[in-house]
């Protein structure tokens, strides 16, 4: 009996000692050498936190995007070019008003040399008073003729032009100029076709930029939402490794685990901190990119309300964009732009060919002129000057310029046709790749659906087994890593599926995504812009020819 009591007393003492050691282990630092714990990044934000859904983010981006504003300016420019081309069909009427003050004129009577006193003074005007009738004598009539001649020679030789305004000090001119093109060889119709093609292309460009912006916002939004999910997962794993470290320290204090197990737990807990820091840094970068797209201040806090696996929110956003179907259209925006580029080049070819035909224009000039001696003119001082002219121009010899313009236009048409075929092939490839990406994302999402649940169940079992001392820490760490990978794959698959759905829905209006297709699209856009610029000098020359009063055929 005494021996049994001694054993019970020893067991109680051992239990008290183990509890004391466990308490000391929780209060005393780790047995292994101390490690420097990296500090987590601190995000400095100011202002009130703003909640943001995917639908709201898309609306904000469309109202703040610089790319959309540039595309709208392109639409306005194309509309102005339509007005410029259309104006050549309509008559042109210009008004003018001018005042001229003559300081000196060659028609003014200059003071001559001193009069010759040796000669008789000429008789005064009027000179016709010296002409006598037949009743006068012959001598009187000859003397009258001589006096009339001397009177006329002494007068102003430009006196008869005084009423015409030569040398007038004050000149007032009010006028109207009218011109109407009657025939231009089809040049005006071709220039209108070029302007209309440019307007259609500008409208397509605006739609494409809006679609690309919606896709970019969706990607950035779900990147930030995925970053939130990954940060939460990393922080949860960090808490789990800390709990395991505490349990291992307690078990080591009572002698149930070895020093090796404690070192493994410490290393696992320390290795989780850099992962948390990296996830938080990635989240900060993702939020900054999203704020930049939405023109939100970078230091303004934002909270996302749409999670990566929220399909209902994505459907609502697609409906607000005007998209209700996930099927891709055959005719892409880039292909339509390439077709409009062909129409524009064909119109420029017609303009080049039309230079061989004569042009016919009707012009008219109507004016009121007055030459008052002093002050402002009166109502009776104005005289009318009105002319009407019908002019034509025919190119007789241009040194091969018209032939060169036609060759250039024909080459541009063939190049536009080739680029259209190239862009159409790239569009077909890009559509197939987009559909394949959606199928792949959907398959990955379905495959990850049960894996995450199974990994969570496996980790909970491993955690219980480790607490009971049935399994090792290696088994627990493996279960935790598998759970982290499964949840990460699930979140990434959800993000890829949502982005792929939105991309396929926006595909008819999206620019091409592949490198070669994008290059062909940019070259086609540049070529169309150059064609519109080349048509402007032709329009200016046509308007100038209509505004001039032509009476003959000028040399070419």
Alpha carbons 343 and 198: distance in angstroms, whole number: 9
Mean pLDDT, 10 residues at a time, over the chain (556 residues)? Answer: 48 43 36 39 62 89 90 95 94 93 72 56 72 74 74 60 67 93 92 94 93 91 90 86 83 80 82 88 91 89 83 66 51 89 94 93 93 80 90 92 94 94 89 87 84 80 79 78 84 88 87 59 50 45 41 33
Per residue in 516-549, pLDDT (tens digit) is 444 545 555 554 544 444 444 444 444 444 444 3
Which pLDDT does position 390 carry in this prediction? 94
As a three-state string, the secondary structure of 69-131 is HHHHHHHHHHHHHHHHHHHCCCCEEEEEEEEEECCCCCCCCCCCCCCCCCCCCCCCCCHHHHC
Predicted local confidence at residue 514, as pLDDT = 56
Q: pTM value?
A: 0.70
Distance CA 26, CA 253 (A): 9
pLDDT of residue 350: 93
pLDDT at position 289, please? 92
Nearest to 517 by CA among 329, 330, 334: 334
Q: What is the pLDDT of residue 95?
A: 95
What pLDDT does residue 156 have? 55
Determine the Cα–Cα distance for residues 474 and 265; give it in Å rounded to an integer: 9
pLDDT of residue 326: 45
The vertex-9 CA angle with 8 and 10, nearest 5°, equals 90
Cis peptide bond upstream of 150, omega within 30: no
Decide: helix, strand or coil at residue 175. strand
Contact status, residue 353 vs residue 537, Cβ threshold 8 Å: no
Instruction: Report the chain's C-alpha Rg in angstroms.
Output: 47
CA neighbor of 338 nearest in space, from 205, 437, 185, 166 = 205
Under a CB-based contact definition with an 8 Å cutoff, are residues 508 and 329 in contact? yes
Q: For position 8, what pLDDT does the model report?
A: 47
Instruction: Quick: pLDDT tens for 350-368.
Output: 999 999 999 999 999 999 9
Interior/surface letters 219-253, b for 16+ CB within 10 angstroms, e for the rest: bbbbbbbbbbbbbebbbebbebbeebbebbbbbbb
For residue 418, the surrounding DSSP H or E stretch is helix 401-467
Residue 199 pLDDT:
94
The answer to whether 494 and 309 have CB atoms below 8 angstroms apart is yes
Locate 262 and state its tokens.
């404690």
| Pairing verdict, β 170-183 and 50-52 | unpaired
Burial of 535 (0-12, 13-18, 19+ CB in 10 A): buried
Q: Which fold has domain 49-88+186-233+323-358+401-540?
A: Outer membrane efflux proteins (OEP) (1.20.1600)
Identify the pLDDT of residue 284. 92
Other C-beta atoms closer than 10 Å to the C-beta of 130 total: 18
Structure tokens at 401: 């310029």
Give 130-166 pLDDT, tens digit per residue.
777 777 777 777 777 777 777 776 665 555 555 566 6
**437: how many CB neighbours lie within 10 A of its CB?**
16
């Amino acid at each position: 009996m005494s021996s049994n009591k001694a054993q019970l007393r020893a067991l109680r003492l051992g239990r008290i000692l183990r509890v004391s050691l466990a308490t000391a282990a929780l209060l005393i630092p780790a047995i292994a050498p101390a490690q420097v714990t990296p500090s987590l990044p601190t995000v400095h934000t100011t202002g009130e936190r703003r909640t943001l859904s995917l639908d709201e983010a898309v609306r904000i981006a469309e109202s703040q995007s610089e790319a959309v504003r540039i595309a709208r300016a392109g639409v306005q420019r194309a509309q102005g070019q339509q007005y410029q081309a259309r104006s050549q069909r309509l008559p042109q009427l210009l008004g003018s008003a001018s005042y001229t003050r003559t300081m000196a004129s060659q028609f003014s009577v200059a003071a001559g040399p001193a009069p010759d006193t040796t000669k008789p003074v000429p008789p005064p005007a009027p000179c016709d008073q010296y002409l006598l009738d037949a009743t006068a004598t012959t001598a009187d009539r000859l003397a009258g003729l001589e006096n009339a001649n001397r009177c006329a020679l002494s007068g102003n030789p430009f006196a008869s032009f005084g009423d015409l305004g030569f040398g007038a000090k004050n000149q007032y001119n009010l006028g109207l100029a009218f011109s109407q093109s009657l025939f231009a060889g089809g040049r005006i119709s071709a220039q209108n076709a070029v302007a209309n093609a440019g307007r259609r292309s500008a409208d397509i460009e605006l739609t494409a930029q809006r679609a690309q912006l919606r896709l970019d916002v969706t990607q950035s939004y779900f990147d930030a939402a995925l970053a939130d999910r990954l940060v939460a997962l990393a922080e949860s794993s960090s808490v789990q490794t800390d709990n395991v470290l505490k349990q291992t320290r307690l078990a080591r204090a009572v002698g149930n685990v070895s020093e090796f197990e404690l070192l493994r737990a410490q290393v696992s807990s320390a290795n989780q901190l850099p992962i948390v820091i990296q996830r938080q840094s990635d989240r900060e970068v993702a939020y900054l990119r999203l704020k930049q797209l939405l023109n939100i201040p970078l230091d303004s806090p934002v909270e996302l309300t749409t999670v990566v696996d929220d399909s209902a929110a994505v459907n609502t956003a697609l409906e607000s964009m005007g998209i209700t179907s996930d099927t891709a259209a055959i005719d892409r925006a880039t292909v339509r732009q390439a077709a409009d580029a062909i129409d524009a080049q064909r119109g420029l070819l017609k303009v080049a060919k039309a230079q061989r035909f004569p042009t016919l224009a009707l012009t008219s000039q109507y004016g009121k002129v007055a030459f008052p001696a002093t002050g402002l003119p009166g109502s009776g001082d104005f005289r009318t000057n009105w002319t009407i002219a019908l002019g034509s121009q025919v190119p007789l010899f241009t040194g091969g310029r018209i032939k060169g313009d036609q060759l250039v236009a024909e080459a541009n048409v063939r190049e536009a046709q080739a680029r259209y075929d190239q862009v159409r092939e790239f569009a077909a490839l890009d559509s197939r790749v987009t559909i394949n990406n959606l199928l792949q994302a959907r398959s990955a999402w379905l495959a990850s659906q049960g894996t995450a649940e199974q990994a969570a169940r496996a980790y909970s079992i491993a955690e219980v087994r480790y607490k009971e001392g049935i399994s090792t820490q290696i088994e627990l760490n493996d279960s935790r890593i598998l759970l982290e990978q499964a949840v990460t794959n699930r979140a990434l698959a959800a993000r890829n599926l949502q982005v792929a759905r939105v991309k396929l829905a926006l595909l008819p209006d999206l620019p091409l995504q592949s490198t070669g297709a994008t290059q062909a699209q940019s070259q086609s856009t540049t070529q169309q812009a150059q064609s519109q610029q080349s048509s402007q000098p032709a329009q200016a020359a046509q308007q100038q020819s209509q505004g001039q009063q032509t009476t003959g055929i000028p040399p070419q």
